[in-house]
Amino acid sequence: MSRMWRVGLLAGLALAAAAPPAHAFVAYVSNEKSNTVSVIDTDTWTVTKTIKVGQRPRGIDLTRDGRFVMVAVGDDDTIEVIDTKTQTVVDSLPSGPDPELFAQDAAGKILYVANENDNTVTVIDLEKRARLGDIQVGVEPEGMTISPDGKTLINTSETTNMAHFIDTATRQIVANVLVDARPRYAEYKHDSSEVWVSSEIGGTVSIIDPKKHEVIGKVTFEIPGLRKEAIQPVGIGMTRDDKTAFVALGPANRIAVVDVATRKVTKYLLVGQRVWHVAFTPDEKYLLTTNGVSNDVSVIDVAAQKVIKTIQVGELPWGVAIAP
């Protein structure tokens, strides 16, 4: 037994001090277990800084003006605000208990936060950094997305297996759509005609007509040699032309490339272990994926549909957001 005890802890963070060239983007990765945010330069594909944040950072996004990174630190019951200039935590936002994921309206004025522990969505005024109110939703709210026109907020709840459609003006639920088990993430097509909802346990992506509030199709996944339970769809990224979707399949360690029109998988890309969320660079040349078990980020060349790079980050990388 003694050999097992001597197993070394996971590799530490690699810190590279590269000066970013003028046109590089900056990616921010939340590391759920090491309580840090890794900063990646997309030109050199290296980690340029590791920012210490609160406990259990998961949901991460930038303010629309690109000045701040917001990161939900669930175990500290708050959302921390990182200044992108100084790359340090400068403020926090008043969420409810255990915030996991959030979405902001198109103008970047209002933030909606899913609080996993009290079955509510908190509404926050981003300018005043003040809490405006709460919306009661299903058990264990998870995925959050907002319609391109800002009028509808969609929240998925993990236990009731529903996507709740919420009117952002009245803050009332206008429809509940039943999807497959444990819905994790929701993504609107840019033309607003469909909402894609991933189901981690169900192993599918449900496609919902947001006007009729009906499931109109499903994307299914099959990988020869892999048990069905290992295919757990989570993060979804769709190209701006609405032609191609990239779906992260968790412990299948793959990203599925889906043709949006036919709703069929055209390719599977082996990335890293327990691939969770994805984000495009603003020029849509690259897609970054967070791989929770291999503790790295994979870089996919979007046009070539090929993995071109792997970058070690902190422990249990969860979310990723990219600034111009």
Partner 1 sequence: MKILALAAMAIALCATAARAADPRHPDWPCTQAKVPEISLAAVWSGPPLDDVQSKWKDDAKISALVARLSARKTPMDEAEKAVKEVLAASGPDKTNNAKLLFAGLFDTLNAQRSQVMNGLERVSRKQRDAADKIREEAVQLQALQGATPRDETKVEALSNDLIWKTRIFEDRTKVVRFVCEVPTSIDQRLFALGRVIQQEME
> Which residues bind to partner 1, rule: CB under 8 A?
1, 4-5, 7-8, 10-11, 223-227, 230, 251-254, 268, 270, 272-273, 293-295, 310
Q: Please report how close the Cβ of residue 276 comes to partner 1 at its closest, in angstroms.
A: 15
Q: Please report how close the Cβ of residue 190 comes to partner 1 at its closest, in angstroms.
A: 30
Quick one: which of 298, 264, 303 has its CA closest to 283? Answer: 303
Answer whether 210's CB lies under 8 Å from 195's CB.
Answer: yes
SS3 33: coil
Q: Which is nearer to partner 1, 316 or 322 (CB)?
A: 316
Q: Which is nearer to partner 1, 13 or 293 (CB)?
A: 293
Collect all residues with Cβ–Cβ distance below 8 Å to 207 and sequence separation of at least 6. 194, 195, 196, 197, 215, 216, 217, 218, 219, 263
Q: Which is nearer to partner 1, 198 or 253 (CB)?
A: 253
Q: Which is nearer to partner 1, 4 or 107 (CB)?
A: 4
Q: Please report how close the Cβ of residue 82 comes to partner 1 at its closest, in angstroms.
A: 28
Q: How far apart are CA 300 and CA 53, in angstroms?
A: 27
Q: Please report how close the Cβ of residue 252 comes to partner 1 at its closest, in angstroms.
A: 7
Greatest distance between any 2 Cα atoms in the chain: 61
Q: How far apart are CA 279 and CA 237, in angstroms?
A: 7
Q: Please report how close the Cβ of residue 10 comes to partner 1 at its closest, in angstroms.
A: 7
Q: Please report how close the Cβ of residue 39 comes to partner 1 at its closest, in angstroms.
A: 22
Collect all residues with Cβ–Cβ distance below 8 Å to 41 and sequence separation of at least 6. 18, 20, 24, 26, 48
Q: Tokens 């919902």 map to which residue?
A: 208
Question: 123 forms bridges with which residues in the sheet?
Answer: 112, 133
Q: Which is nearer to partner 1, 294 or 305 (CB)?
A: 294
Q: Which is nearer to partner 1, 176 or 294 (CB)?
A: 294
Q: Please report how close the Cβ of residue 298 comes to partner 1 at its closest, in angstroms.
A: 9
Q: Which is nearer to partner 1, 159 or 310 (CB)?
A: 310
How many Å is the Cα radius of gyration of the chain? Answer: 19
SS3 288: strand
Answer whether 300's CB lies under 8 Å from 255's CB.
Answer: yes
